[in-house]
Amino acid sequence: MTSITSKAVRIDQQGGPEQLKLVEVTVGDPRPGEIRIRHRAIGLNFIDVYQRDGLYPMPVPLQLGMEAAGVVEAVGEGVTHLQVGDRAAYASQPPGSYCEVRVMPAKCVCKLPDAISFETGAAMMLKGLTAQYLLKKTLPQGGLQAGDFVLFHAAAGGVGLIACQWARALGLQLIGTAGSDAKCALALQNGAAFAINYSTQDFAARVKEITGGQGVKVVYDSVGKDTFEKSLDCLRPFGLLASFGNASGPVPPFAPGILAAKGSLYITRQTLFHHIATRESTQAMADDLFAMVSSGQVKIHIGQRFALAEVRQAHIALEARKTTGCTILTL
């Protein structure tokens, strides 16, 4: 029986960044359906903040982190798609990626193409698969066609910069919002057709101007509380609000009648983890992402790197809106 020591980041109770503690854990052999993976880089995601601070109640103690890339070190019984020595990357449920080595379910882990670096793999899996399902599986009535307007909030963030580029590749006119002029410029460089600084401008009024009064087919809203109601005002009749996060706080309760009043609208709130519930769906979505990245249509912008031991600073920067693109933890 193998017993390996790994550095890991754990919380013993939910709360502020000070709860993040670097500890040593013991890692054993994979059981049936599992692998052991040695990480080469780890992805940071806003969901890590929700799980740390208690917005998403979680059992503690908890090893945080949902994304990483590395090398497969051991393979449990019944795992056929991975072999020892494979380069691999994943977005995982349950959490636990903030570490050097872990044992985890194999079904969410994909072989990483040789052309994609470990850092890129670690940065892009959770965020890239999210952009994939938002743009290709979360569709308004009649689907999306080239030329359609969509609105994407926090467009200079991790998911945002990937979505800007993917939307451009699909021929969509993505209107991105961001919290500063510099972030707006970055969204434009990455494929947004228009950018709105929502810290200084009324984004609903600007969207109406840009779309000639029509509104957009879909609003992708991960900001939540601060943007929800105005996001509805950006939609054309029968448009879709795809709510997928709560960076500013959760969306407050609302009466469905508001959807009728604002144009017989649709609303959906999805999570990546239902889309990647099976090995087959995970691989199909990952293949799509790998193709976009390998072809250069989507470039993964790693805006910040922190050592695993600096994870508190990484969380503080992400929460303070000081990051752009993806953030990784290095080993």
Q: What's the closest the beta carbon of residue 245 comes to ligand NDP, in angstroms?
A: 2
Beta bridge partners of 149: 173
Residue nearest ligand NDP, CB atom distance: 157
The angle, 0 to 180 degrees and rounded to 10, between the axes of the packed helices 181-189 and 158-169 is 40
Q: Which is nearer to ligand NDP, 79 or 242 (CB)?
A: 242
Q: Which amino acid is at 224?
A: G
Q: What's the closest the beta carbon of residue 101 comes to ligand NDP, in angstroms?
A: 24
CA distance 51 to 155: 23
Q: Check: CB of residue 26 under 8 Å from CB of residue 75.
A: no
Q: Which is nearer to ligand NDP, 63 or 246 (CB)?
A: 246
Q: Which is nearer to ligand NDP, 75 or 192 (CB)?
A: 192
Q: Which two tokens stand for residue 330?
A: 């290095």
- CB-count burial class (<10 Å; 0-12, 13-18, 19+) for 200: exposed
CA distance 67 to 56: 17
Q: Which is nearer to ligand NDP, 27 or 131 (CB)?
A: 131
Q: What's the closest the beta carbon of residue 174 comes to ligand NDP, in angstroms?
A: 14
Q: What's the closest the beta carbon of residue 215 comes to ligand NDP, in angstroms?
A: 21
Q: Which is nearer to ligand NDP, 121 or 160 (CB)?
A: 160
CA distances for 228 relative to 83, 109, 231, angstroms: 45, 34, 5
Q: Which is nearer to ligand NDP, 263 or 266 (CB)?
A: 266
Q: What's the closest the beta carbon of residue 92 comes to ligand NDP, in angstroms?
A: 12
Beta bridge partners of 62: 11
> Percent helix, strand and coil across the chain, each rounded to 5?
30, 30, 40
Q: Check: CB of residue 118 under 8 Å from CB of residue 70.
A: yes
Q: Which is nearer to ligand NDP, 46 or 228 (CB)?
A: 46
Q: What's the closest the beta carbon of residue 277 comes to ligand NDP, in angstroms?
A: 12
Chain residues that interact with ligand NDP, rule: CB under 6 A: 45-47, 126-127, 130, 154, 156-160, 178-179, 183, 222-223, 226, 244-245, 247-248, 270-272, 318-319, 321, 323
Q: What's the closest the beta carbon of residue 45 comes to ligand NDP, in angstroms?
A: 4
